[in-house]
Amino acid sequence: MKPEYKEWIVKYLERHNNAVLGKCTEATKEMKEAFPELTVVPGHVFTDWGQRGHMWLTDSGDQIVDPTRSQFNLIFEYVPWTPGQSVRVGRCMNCGDEIWVAVQTLDKDPGHRSICSDACGKAMEDELNNIPGVKII
């Protein structure tokens, strides 16, 4: 990685007190403005936390330049997103599974979901209806 990219990242982290968890979109856009030769890449990273939606940049040699890399303990792989692939839209309030949906574009917010399926929603409703004094209608 070029020294000027490393220097920019260090200064960015200092400005944000190293609090960059979930800030990859804003960081990559800001770094792209500073270095127009870089390419913004949306996708996923596979970490010790599992698969996470993420955004990073690449240089002309396709080397990864990730201004918020420090938010992860380990990154095993960077996987660029392509149309039709899934994005994370929430975590199921009933079973705890992550909820992913296939999208064709990243230009539009796919929304947030709290229940992964009708069956999980029904199971949660049944459980809540068994609590004395609670009735889901």
Residue 119: per-residue pLDDT: 93
In terms of Cα–Cα distance, which of 12, 24, 30 is closest to 53?
A: 24
Q: Which residues of the chain have pLDDT under 50?
A: none
Residue 106: per-residue pLDDT: 72
Q: In the chain, where are the structural domains located?
A: 1-81, 82-137
In terms of Cα–Cα distance, which of 133, 101, 105, 131 is closest to 115?
A: 101
Whole-number Å distance between alpha carbons of 68 and 28: 8
Residue 9: per-residue pLDDT: 95
Residue 4: per-residue pLDDT: 96
Whole-number Å distance between alpha carbons of 115 and 93: 6
Beta bridge partners of 53: 44
